[in-house]
Structure formats: C-alpha cells, structure tokens
Structure 1
Amino acid sequence: MYLEIPIGRIEPNPKQPRQVFDEEALAELVHSVREFGLMQPVVVRRLEGDRFQLVMGERRWRAVQEAGLDTIPAIVRDTEDESLLRDALLENIHRVQLNPLEEAAAYQQLLEEFEVTHEELASRLGRSRPVITNMIRLLKLPVAVQRRVAAGVLSAGHARALLALEAGADAQEALAARIVAEGLSVRATEEAVVLANRNDTPDTPQQKRRKPIQMPGLQDVAERLSNSFDTRVTVSLGKRKGKIVVEFGSVDDLERIVKMMESQTDLS
C-alpha cells in the first residue's frame, strides 16, 4: 500500500544497525529532496493508532525532515520483528555499507535473535562463514580501539591483527595509537604483533641468550595454512621445535577447522 504519511507519525527503527550517517552524503540528499522531492519512498509498518515505524529508508526519512517537508511517500508493509531486523540489516549491508563495528554488532544481534550458528547466518545473508566470524570477533577489542575502527581511523584488517596481541587491552590500545601515528600497514601491524607476542613469552636465562631462528618462507607457510583453513594461522620456529597457532572464533568455527584437518588427514 502506498501512502503520503505526515513525517511526525513515523518513528525510526530501534533495531537499525547503522549508528553513523555520512553527513556529506546526507546533505546532498537534503538538497536533492528540496529540488526534486523524494524520488524513492521509504518502507514502513503500522503500529498502534496512526503511528508507523521505519523498516527501510532512515537516511531518506532524515533528509525529508531536514528539508522541511510535511509528508513523506511510503510503502506500508506487514512485517514481524524478525523480518524488520533482517530487512534493516540487509538494506544497510547491500546499499549503504556499515562501518565494521556496526556490521559486527548487527551480525551478533542476528545470531542472538535467530539463535543460529555462524554458518547458518552466513547462508541467510549470502556471506561466507569466515566473514561473519571475523567481523564478530572485532567486538572483543577494547572500547577505545572499537571507536577508532568505527570512526574509520583503523581498518578491519588492522583490528583483526590487534586481536592476536596476547598482552591484553592496554597493549592493543597502545599499538592502535601507534598504527595511527605511524601509518602502519596491516602487514606491518601483524609483524609488530608477532614480535610483541614473542617478547612477552617468559624465557629462561639460557633461552634469552639464544637468537631467534629465521626460516625463509615461514610467513608464506603461515599464509598457505591461513588460506587452507579460512582463519588466521601463525608459525614460529625455536631452536629445537616450532609452533603453529590456529585461531578460531567460536566453538562452531573450531569444529569446522577440526573437520577440515581430519578430512585432509584421511586423504593423505
């Protein structure tokens, strides 16, 4: 059903995953609305009385308000809370990209609302399982680091590298500040994390005298394993033995990796 609805009768979607709207893009839309009107209607659902709630189109709704219009063209749709959340998330992911923290929070909310696994959620959203898992892991970062990611100062790649830092929240915040100050690349950040983790490992006096063994191609081995198991893998080498660390984001993710290892063992 298509209606022209008084702007004051529409309220925003409380489950809207997007928290930050690009002010420049919004200003351009406001100018367009003033010149030509709103070309694409918003989608709403009915509430009690004469009230409506946004399902899709909060940026357009905001622009119409700022443009000073009294009504807004809208398509009225019957939708349940579950559909409301999914539709709002899908619109933002596919039309206006969320920042990494908003996307991670939205995925986490969907997991809790639908009570599904990472694999099932990935299938519903048309995403790969590693993308879902790696995005949700960003929520484990300290709040100060999350703010930098949300503001676009740190990339999702930098954030994932920081998650591997074993020294804890203070060290993650310190390295995040260094990334910004020195303009470190993701690869440089990963190398800094590996070095920091190595330095934080307690050594005996005899071990402290040993120089770390360098093996050409060690990073290539780690990358091949990472690609094979769809997760971050680090490889380190001591004097007598080496260590491979395979990271996982959840119990489901661990089970997936174990099955992949078992299947490759069976093939050999």
Structure 2
Amino acid sequence: MSQNKRSSLGRGLSALMADLQPEETAVSREGTEMVPTEQIAPNPDQPRRVFDQAALSELADSIRSRGVIQPLIVRRHPDDTNIYQIVAGERRWRASQMAQVHELPVIIRDFSDAEMLEVAIIENIQRADLNAIDEAASYKQLMTRFGHTQEKLAEALGKSRSHIANLLRLLNLPDQVQEWVREEKLSAGHARALVTADNATAIARRIIEKDLSVREVESLMREKTSKPTKPRADSEKDADTRALEGDLTATLKMRVQIKHSGNDGGQMTITYRDLEQLDRLCQILAGSN
C-alpha cells in the first residue's frame, strides 16, 4: 500500500485532477469506450455512502431522454480484467440502471488503489450538494492519508485556504452537532459560530428549537464570550506592561492583554475578531507567516 501511496503523491494532486476532468464532451467522444452496464462495478471505497433517491430519479429521467452526456472514469478491476471499477461517476451509473440503459460511455484510466481513493475523495468534494461536515472530512482524509497541505488543496481545488481551514475546524464540534449539520438541521454558518463554544450541543439544540438565524447565533455567542470589564485593571499595570501590550497588539492586529502573577509568571490573552483572524494567528504561531 505504501508503494501505491508514493505513486499517488508522485503524480501530484493537479495531475489527478486533470485525469478526473477529461476534455471529452457529448459532441466529441474521442478516447471513450462503450461498456455494458453489468461489467461496471462501484468503487468499494467510495467516500459517499448515501445517494439521494429523488435526485437519482431525476437524473434517470434525464438519461432516458438525453442519454449519458459525461463519460464515467473507470479503471480495470485488479482481480478481473473483464470488470471495470468506477473511479468517478457512480451517480450516473446508478441512475443509468434505473433508466435501464444497457451500456455506458467510459474513459479508462490506469489508477493505483491509492490514486483511485484519492480521486474518489476529490470528486466527492466537488459535489454541489455536499454538506460542510462531509466536505471537511474529505479535506482531512486527503491531508492525513495522502499528505496534502491546506495550501496544495486550495490551489488544486480552486478554494481559498481560509475556506478549507474554517471547514476543518468544524470537525472539532461534538458528534451530535456534526450530525445535525449533515441532516441540514444546522447550516455551515451556524456550525462555524459554535466552534469555540463550550456547550455547543446545548446551543445547537436551542438554534434548532427556536429556528435562530446565523446572525442571531453570532450575536448570542458574542454575548456569552464577553466578560465584565474591570475599570482599574489597566491602571494597575506598570508602564512597561502596557507598552508591551500595545506593541504586540499593533504587530498581531489583535488585542493583547498581559496579566502578571507575581514572580511565578502570568497570562497573555489574545482576542481575535473572527475565524479569519484565528486562522492568521495559528499561522503565526506555527511559524508559517
């Protein structure tokens, strides 16, 4: 498996993206082959486990009237050369079976097991109806299993790095909250507002029960995280401490507060305005900026 993984990384994510998006169209099918539907098998490692039946029915109706416009990407089955495994296009294959189409246009690629899984994850990310949690899980899988960085993913997938970083933080939410996002009871905006909450599940339940908007949740979180000010706190600090706070605040462009605890140390608090600022702070602390 390690050899396959090295092969996948060696080709690079951009190369796999190119293989996933062939130039062939419905008008020009050069490079495609027609393969009997029964000789095509799904990818056993397909990341997408749930297929919306209503959407499949609509696609099947379209296929009955117009045929399969975009060829499937397949590879020869490693254990049976008469069978083709789907790399990209399982929805089209399933809908074609519903439409009783007996053969399908395919483009055959030479993918290793690792590359096949990698491309399947990429195709999953590109689905328009993918929820935020499953999208984040796909990014994490690409990073942990294949060693891709956020920067590489952003470049290859046409996403901003902050988009990927912000979605990855949703995976820190409690399992129940993540499940509500998958079920579309909570939006991605709701979930982002809950990332730093200590009682995210309770707040999420309140959001659902009261049908709160994202703006209302953000306002609620600001109220919960705001702390009573102590008028005398700054006046009790010496001039050097206040100057250091000012310098750090100017450098980070985020409010910095320092509280000494005698000779035993103290605390430094950095207040960020939003997730974009948190992302920038993480880069600074990691030494990447």
- Please give the TM-score of this superposition, normalised by the length of structure 1: 0.70
- For residues 104-138 of structure 1, the C-alpha deviation after alignment (integer angstroms, 9 at most, x for no partner) is 11101100122133223323322222111111111
1:222 matched residue in structure 2: none
Contact 2:132–2:167 (CA under 8 A) maintained in structure 1: yes
Q: Which residue of 2 aligns with 1:112?
A: 144
Map residues 64-143 of structure 1 onto 2, 5 A cutoff.
Answer: 64-94=96-126, 96-143=128-175
- 1:51 match: secondary structure: strand
**Please, which of 35, 48, 54 is the counterpart of residue 86 of structure 2?**
54
Distance 1:43 1:259, change over 3 A: closer
The aligned counterpart of 1:187 is 215
2:68 is aligned with 1:38:
yes
In structure 2, what residue type is equivalent to 1:159? Answer: A
Q: What SS does the aligned partner of 1:60 have?
A: helix
**Where does structure 2 lack aligned partners over 5 or more consecutive residues?**
1-30, 232-248, 258-267
Tell me the amino acid that sits aligned with residue 216 of structure 2.
Answer: A
Give the structure 1 partner of residue 39 of structure 2: 9
Q: Give the corresponding residue for 1:220.
A: none
Q: Structure 1 residues 155 and 52, CA, compared in 2 at 3 Å: closer, same or farther?
A: same
* Residue 95 of structure 1: how far off its partner (Å): 5.1
Q: Secondary structure at the match of 2:73?
A: strand
Residue matched to 2:191: 159
Q: Could you list the per-position Cα deviations for residues 134-192 of structure 1 after superposition, in whole angstroms to 9, with x for gaps in the alignment?
A: 111111222221111112221111101111112xxxx3222112112222122221222
Task: Please tell me whether Structure 1 or Structure 2 has the larger radius of gyration of its CA atoms.
Answer: 2
The aligned amino acid for 1:25 is A
For 2:142 and 2:160, the matched residues in 1 are separated by 15
Change (3 A) 1:187 1:96: closer
Tell me: CA distance 1:243–1:185, structure 2 relative to 1, closer, same or farther (3 Å). Answer: farther
TM-score, normalised via structure 2 length: 0.65
Cα root mean square deviation, aligned:
3.6
CA spacing shift, 1:89–1:253, aligned 2, 3 Å: farther
* CA distance, structure 2, for counterparts of residue 245 and residue 16 of structure 1: 41
**Residue type matched to 1:13 in 2?**
N
Determine the C-alpha separation between the residues in 2 that align with 1:34 and 1:10. 19
Gaps of 5+ in 1: 202-206, 212-224, 237-241, 264-268
Secondary structure of 1:52's aligned partner: strand
Q: Secondary structure at the match of 1:154?
A: coil
Alpha-carbon distance between aligned partners in 1 of 2:281 and 2:50, rounded to the nearest angstrom: 34
Compute the displacement of 1:234 (Å).
9.2
Q: Secondary structure at the match of 1:160?
A: helix
- How far did 1:44 drift? 0.5
C-alpha separation in 2, matches of 1:93 and 1:112: 16
Structure 2 CA distance, aligned partners of 1:63 and 1:134? 34
Q: Are residues 187 and 36 of structure 1, via their aligned partners in 2, closer, same or farther at CA, if it must alter by over 3 Å? A: closer
1:43 is paired with a residue of what secondary structure?
A: strand
Deviations along 1:227-258, one digit per CA (max 9) or x if unpaired, are x98xxx8999xxxxx96434889xx9655234
**Alpha-carbon distance in 2 for matches of 1:172, 1:122:** 28
